[in-house]
Amino acid sequence: MAEQHYYGPHSARVDMRLIIGGTSIGITHLGPDFVLIEPGHDRPPGVATILLKVDETERRWQAFLPQGISRASKRVALSLCP
């Protein structure tokens, strides 16, 4: 029988970022077809990289921003890259 270990409560360190042309924008929420970002950015439609880091594990993938980013909204629509 495999030995099990219990190390007590654990809070993961999570960092989510939207990277566009060298600019890193913090993501506050990540959904299946949108992200909520820190306000104050304007960008035209285009490709971006989403970075998700949980503790020491990092994952990156590309997404298309069909409507770009508007300074007036924190919600950014995502779709598969063309």
Confidence of residue 82 (pLDDT cuts 50, 70, 90): low
pLDDT of residue 10: 73
Asked if residues 17 and 24 have their Cβ atoms less than 8 Å apart, the reply is yes
Query: Across residues 9-19, what is the average pLDDT?
Result: 89
Can you read off the two tokens belonging to residue 9?
């409560």
Angstrom distances, CA of residue 15 to CA of 2, 4, 29, 57 = 33, 29, 11, 10
15: three-class secondary structure by DSSP:
strand
Q: How confident is the model at residue 80 (pLDDT cuts 50, 70, 90)?
A: confident
